[in-house]
Amino acid sequence: MTAEARRAVLGQNQYGKAETRVVRITRSGTTHHIKDLNVSVSLSGAMDDVHLTGSNAHVLTTDATKNTVYAFAREHGIASAEEFGIRLARHFVTSQEPIHSARIRVEEYAWERIGTPDGGEAPHSFVRAGRETRTAEVLYDGEEWEVVSGLEGLVVLNTTDSEFHGYVKDRYTTLPETRDRVLATEVNARWRYAGTDVDWDGAWARARDHLLHAFAGTYSYSLQQTLYAMGARVVERLPEVEEIRLSLPNKHHFLVDLEPFGLKNDNEVYYAADRPYGLIEATVLRDGAQPRLPVHPARP
């Protein structure tokens, strides 16, 4: 085999920014609408030089593709995942001569409005579409029963009615205070019944409803305050429940800085950060009840 036959050649290639999380909130008075997307951009074209010689002359940075997603969400809104993908792909191919094709992959996370006790809908409180996991644990020692129900992965979000300020500040504190923020969490809850004479399906459904109604109905100054309101509503309104343990990760939504692009961001475009995250946990008991639920239960 000759040296010429062994020569390496560059084949098909592409590059881009994967999994840009963008949350677009449209505020129509007190009624809000939400679009939550995970956008991946893949570009290809006249990119031989960057691979073969290291020349970046034809390279639009992946950081710029990420920023374009955020800026387009602000300037054009998000009518649908398809429309948004079409708009992005057209922009990349028509605005950059070396880019010959663009592939935009979009995952959309659907949200449903949280219902209110009177049968209506909360205007700015949402629950992630798709069922969470229902859990149950039964302990019997031949004489006594202990039944614990629960749920995992109930994702909820308020687009307003949440503040966070007045906290301790030391030399390492960088988080700015806010009087209006997105509050989102994944509810993981376990509650212990006082006995076994219980309509299990009905009690579980009512506990879930109370958790949602408390989340939607609480003007929040901290996730700790919201957690207590959720737990208190369950033990106060369900006489069969003596204790509830809640674990609420703070699913942070940070405003995107659009000023470098000459755009204002009036609480409209956010990026959703999955880690690191604050983790808020507490037990709420009926007055006089003894705590039995473990602080760190086994997680699926």
Rounded CA-CA distance 92/102 in Å is 7
Residue spans of beta strands (DSSP E) within the chain? 20-28, 31-45, 99-108, 111-115, 121-128, 133-140, 145-158, 183-193, 241-249, 253-255, 269-272, 279-285
Report the C-alpha gap between 11 and 179 in whole angstroms: 53
CA 126 from chain centre, in angstroms, equals 11
Distance CA 272, CA 180 (A): 16
Q: Is the dihedral of CA 215, 218, 219, 221 positive or negative?
A: negative
Q: Which residues are catalytic?
A: 17, 62, 252
168/203 Cα distance (integer angstroms): 40
Stretch (H or E) spanning 48: helix 48-52
CA distances from 256 to 76, 200, 205 (A): 15, 44, 37
- Looking at residue 127, its amino acid is V
Nearest to 190 by CA among 241, 263, 262: 241
Residue 149's Cβ-count burial label (10 Å; 0-12, 13-18, 19+) is buried
Place of tokens 């590059």: 15
Q: How many CB atoms lie within 10 A of CB 80?
A: 11
DSSP-based three-state secondary structure for 88? helix
